[in-house]
Structure 1
Amino acid sequence: MKVRIGQKINSFTVETINGEQQMVPDPSRKFTHLQFRRFAGCPICNYHLHTFTKSAEQLKAADIQEIILFHSSATEMRKFQHDIPFATVADPEKTLYKKFGVDKSLFATMHPKPLWAGIRGMVLGKVGLKVENGPLGLPADILINQEGIVVAFKYGTHAYDQWEVNELLKIA
């Protein structure tokens, strides 16, 4: 079921690929941003995360906790997301994807934006041949305040349809 603005999200804990526990939402942070990405070696997703990594200080200054989820195993994620300065979470069973209504589509990559982002991700060297849980996933962004209330969301219609850093900062 997709979230809606004003919906209360009961707190829960996720385990990062490094074995750390993260509370969602984090009551000590103004916002928690859940980023649902595709598979760990997705060049489109990895290019997108590269742009967020470059803006890590801005996100920290805005008091936004980033939680990045992939529907891949922690082992596969460590190959590609080991250097991301945010909490990265493996969800190979897609438990949280289902809980938050994150979809997939046969046409996920059939748009010029994902194709171009994929090329840029390949240039970064962030591409893998192992497509855990399929290539059809769509991205989603959910912004939750410290009380657990959904304040904004975006469900992607193609593989590169998500908030950019500036959009997120404006919303927050």
Structure 2
Amino acid sequence: MRTPSDPTRSPLRSRARLRPGDAVSVRTLTPVTGPPLAVPDPGGAVHVQFRRFAGCPVCNLHLRSVARRHADIERAGVREVVLFHSPEEELREHVAHLPFPVVADPGKELYAEFGVEAHRRALLDPRGWPGIVRGVLAGAAELLRGRGRLPAASQPGGRIGLPADFLIAPDGRILAVKYGEHIDDQWSVDELLAHAAGRGVPARLSP
């Protein structure tokens, strides 16, 4: 399956939410930097997380926490893969520094396949507001240091996406899943590691 990348396609209707024990089909994804990769990965478990748009302050803050502990995640036998619904050329400028693959899905094909939704509660739920404030302040600090970029003013894929996390076994079975209820509702690194340990994720067969 080719990397989803066509923003001119009509929006896809999300399928039913996936649950632990469900299986996902194999596809090859091409990150915005780096070589193609398989999901599921026969070499080990994969943590696939769905984010929002390139430059999203809450997403950037969360991914920095993941990047800081990327070595811990790899030692737990898990490969990190992140999806955004922004075009590849725009996304690359925001994520090139990250130590794990980031995939552009502007047509939201995989979002639909995995049942990942957009909803007004992403921004309106008060539980997400502290994360928005932290993300905006952290982004402003980066800009003052001459780092980072502001997100594009226009977001064809919208700004109300909800995050989602999937831990997927080498055979395609979903080991654990979380569908976020607001913009800042995702697994922390500690929660990801706990899921991996609790489900007996072995060391990876290859780097």
Question: Structure 2: where are the runs of 5+ without partners?
Answer: 1-14, 143-147, 197-207
1:73 is aligned to 2:87: yes
- 1:39·1:132 contact (CA, 8 Å) conserved in 2? no
RMSD after superposition = 1.4
2: CA distance, partners of 1:156 / 1:77: 22
Provide Cα deviations, 1:27-65, integer angstroms capped at 9, x if missing partner.
Answer: 112x11110000111101111101100110100101111
Cα deviation for residue 19 of structure 1 reads: 5.4
> Which residue of 1 is the match for residue 37 of structure 2?
22
Provide Cα deviations, 1:104-143, integer angstroms capped at 9, x if missing partner.
Answer: 1112122344332233333243541433411010000011
> Which residue of 2 is the match for residue 34 of structure 1?
48
- 1:67·1:88 contact (CA, 8 Å) conserved in 2? yes
Relative distance call for 1:6 and 1:95 in structure 2 (3 A) is same
- 2:34·2:101 contact (CA, 8 Å) conserved in 1? no
The residue matched to 2:92 in structure 1 has which SS? Answer: helix
Question: Structure 1: where are the runs of 5+ without partners?
Answer: none
> Which residue of 1 is the match for residue 108 of structure 2?
94
2: CA distance, partners of 1:128 / 1:36: 17
> Which residue of 2 is the match for residue 169 of structure 1?
193
> Which residue of 1 is the match for residue 204 of structure 2?
none
Name which of 114, 136, 151 aligns with 1:128: 151
2: CA distance, partners of 1:121 / 1:21: 30
Relative distance call for 1:32 and 1:89 in structure 2 (3 A) is same
Which is further off, 108-117 or 93-102? 108-117
2: CA distance, partners of 1:104 / 1:50: 23
1: CA distance, partners of 2:113 / 2:173: 15
1:139 is aligned to 2:153: no
Name which of 22, 25, 30 aligns with 1:10: 25
2: CA distance, partners of 1:68 / 1:46: 12
Provide Cα deviations, 1:140-164, integer angstroms capped at 9, x if missing partner.
Answer: 0011011111011001110111100
1: CA distance, partners of 2:185 / 2:93: 24
Relative distance call for 1:164 and 1:37 in structure 2 (3 A) is same
Relative distance call for 1:42 and 1:33 in structure 2 (3 A) is same
Q: TM-score, normalised by structure 2?
A: 0.78
2: CA distance, partners of 1:119 / 1:129: 19
Q: TM-score, normalised by structure 1?
A: 0.93
Q: Percent identity?
A: 40
Computing the radius of gyration from Cα coordinates, the structure with the larger value is: 2
1:83 is aligned to 2:107: no
The residue matched to 2:124 in structure 1 has which SS? Answer: coil
> Which residue of 2 is the match for residue 63 of structure 1?
77
